[in-house]
């Protein structure tokens, strides 16, 4: 819908007809807010909805709700959609096609059961289904969340806030594998502090059912009783329809695009085809490698770029550095750039520096501790990545570090950054500057 809105700003209804197909019940909503709605921090589901279909219709954009596109005919230049409410088939011709099908939750075969109570968390419809399940009688008492990434951690907190007994299962050695293990351990402590049982190094073998609903999660260590199971195993690009239509995908499984979000195949650009959002792959600005990083921030920017270009303007999408933030109770977690593992995989030689500091002047009420970790290239000192784990007012400092990564600053250059200071907001030496000083020392020592 970002693409549709931007195209409409540049070309009027008489010049460009815009039709969008949506198989769900909602348009333009915050999927990132679903765990907070389920956990009660956001009381009203409608608060997550940015624009209703009627608002798009007023702008001259036709939205066909509850229509699932089941085929794309590139030769005849038309899409074929199934009406999920009334049945029947609809064919819609096109001159230009924007493929923005998003991503779908990873759902192993063992998770496909003949019974209810197993949920992914990808759409507002998914959130509504979870809410309905939690409100049914008898009320669920035990939840098992499978996967310790952003969604898994957020949903585990949501479940315990709803009064359920919660177990979080993660197959790797730590939750939040998008940060380094030393930082992930802090997250594990916070999750356990909420009363959530965390089991790492655990692989799920299957699910058990009783009376038409999930009853347990089977692991090598035994079965865990469960009245609801939430899958937080990550997502994959939703490109099945594209592949069936002969549209090529990249090495990450997402559609390949050029800088203007035009789909690119082995023989060059696919005429009249654009793609944006969680269904595309992009380039990491530091490693230079193709990556699939499904975040709403990227999706909205890519949609905007596609719409501007489709409408006759000019815009480019420059790539990503993987900046992300979340919270577990009052613990904030953030990252940008490359982790140690990612830096090593890209071929960098690097040093690391970690410092503990406070969010405010130590004597000012409300000061809280935070841990900042920087990863810098050994020879040049270029900042490759950063991570933050801390309490209130910690995580948003990742934004200044993201700007440094984006612009390929060295940690030595960062030591002179003119950051703001007042006791209610920062120590006289902001934690970012202290970390940069320590990283600079590590770079000099490694030469």
Provide the annotated active-site residues.
32
From 15, 97, 24, 20, select the one nearest 55 (Cα to Cα). Answer: 20
What three-state secondary structure class fits 415? coil
Q: Phi and psi of 231, rounded to 5°?
A: -95, 120
From 315, 255, 318, 242, select the one nearest 281 (Cα to Cα). Answer: 255
How far are the Cα atoms of 52, 53, 60, 232, 280 from residue 56, in angstroms, in the given order? 7, 5, 6, 32, 24
Burial-class residue 329 by CB neighbours within 10 Å (0-12, 13-18, 19+): middle
How far are the Cα atoms of 143, 224, 305 from residue 198, in angstroms, in the given order? 12, 12, 41
CB-CB neighbours of 58 under 10 Å? 10
From 185, 179, 174, select the one nearest 147 (Cα to Cα). Answer: 174
**One-character DSSP codes across 354-406:** EEEEESS-TTSTT--EEEEEEEEETTT-BEEEEEEEESTT-GGGHHHHHHHHH
Q: In what order do the strands lie in the sheet with 268-275?
A: 97-99, 268-275, 262-265
Pairing of strands 165-170, 228-231: unpaired
How far are the Cα atoms of 121, 226, 361 from residue 207, in angstroms, in the given order? 18, 9, 51
- In eight-state DSSP terms, residue 249 is B
């Amino acid at each position: 819908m970002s693409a549709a809105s931007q195209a409409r700003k540049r070309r009027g209804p008489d010049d460009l007809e815009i039709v969008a197909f949506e198989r769900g019940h909602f348009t333009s909503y915050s999927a990132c807010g679903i765990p907070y709605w389920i956990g009660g921090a956001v009381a009203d589901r409608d608060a997550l909805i940015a624009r209703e279909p009627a608002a798009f219709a007023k702008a001259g954009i036709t939205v066909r709700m509850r229509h699932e596109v089941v085929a794309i005919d590139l030769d005849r230049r038309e899409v074929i959609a199934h009406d999920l409410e009334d049945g029947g088939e609809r064919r819609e011709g096109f001159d230009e096609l924007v493929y923005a099908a998003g991503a779908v939750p990873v759902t192993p075969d063992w998770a496909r059961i003949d019974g209810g109570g197993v949920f992914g968390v990808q759409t507002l419809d998914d959130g509504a289904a979870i809410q309905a399940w939690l409100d049914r009688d008898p009320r669920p008492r035990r939840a098992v969340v499978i996967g310790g990434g952003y969604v898994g951690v957020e949903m585990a907190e949501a479940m315990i806030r709803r009064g359920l007994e919660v177990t979080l299962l993660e197959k790797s050695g730590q939750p939040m594998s998008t940060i380094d293990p030393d930082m992930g351990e802090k997250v594990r402590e916070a999750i356990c502090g909420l009363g959530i049982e965390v089991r790492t190094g655990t692989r799920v073998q299957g699910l058990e059912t009783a009376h038409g609903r999930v009853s347990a999660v089977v692991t090598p260590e035994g079965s865990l009783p469960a009245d609801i199971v939430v899958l937080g195993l990550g997502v994959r690009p939703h490109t099945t329809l594209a592949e069936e239509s002969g549209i090529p995908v990249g090495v990450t499984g997402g559609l390949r695009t050029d800088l203007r979000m035009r789909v690119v195949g082995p023989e060059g650009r696919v005429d009249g085809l654009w793609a944006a959002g969680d269904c595309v792959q992009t380039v990491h600005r530091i490693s230079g490698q193709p990556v699939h990083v499904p975040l709403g921030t990227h999706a909205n920017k890519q949609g905007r770029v596609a719409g501007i270009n489709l409408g006759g303007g000019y815009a480019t999408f420059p790539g990503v550095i993987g900046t992300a933030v979340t919270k577990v109770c009052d613990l904030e977690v953030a990252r940008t750039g490359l982790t140690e593992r990612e830096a090593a995989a890209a071929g960098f030689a690097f040093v690391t520096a970690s410092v503990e500091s406070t969010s405010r002047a130590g004597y000012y009420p409300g000061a809280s501790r935070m841990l900042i970790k920087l990863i810098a290239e050994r020879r040049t000192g270029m900042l490759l990545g950063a991570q933050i784990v801390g309490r209130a007012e910690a995580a948003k400092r990742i934004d200044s570090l993201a700007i440094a990564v984006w612009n390929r600053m060295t940690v030595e250059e960062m030591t002179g950054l003119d950051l703001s200071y007042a006791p209610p907001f920062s120590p006289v030496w902001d934690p970012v500057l202290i970390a940069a000083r320590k990283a600079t020392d590590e770079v000099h020592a490694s030469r």
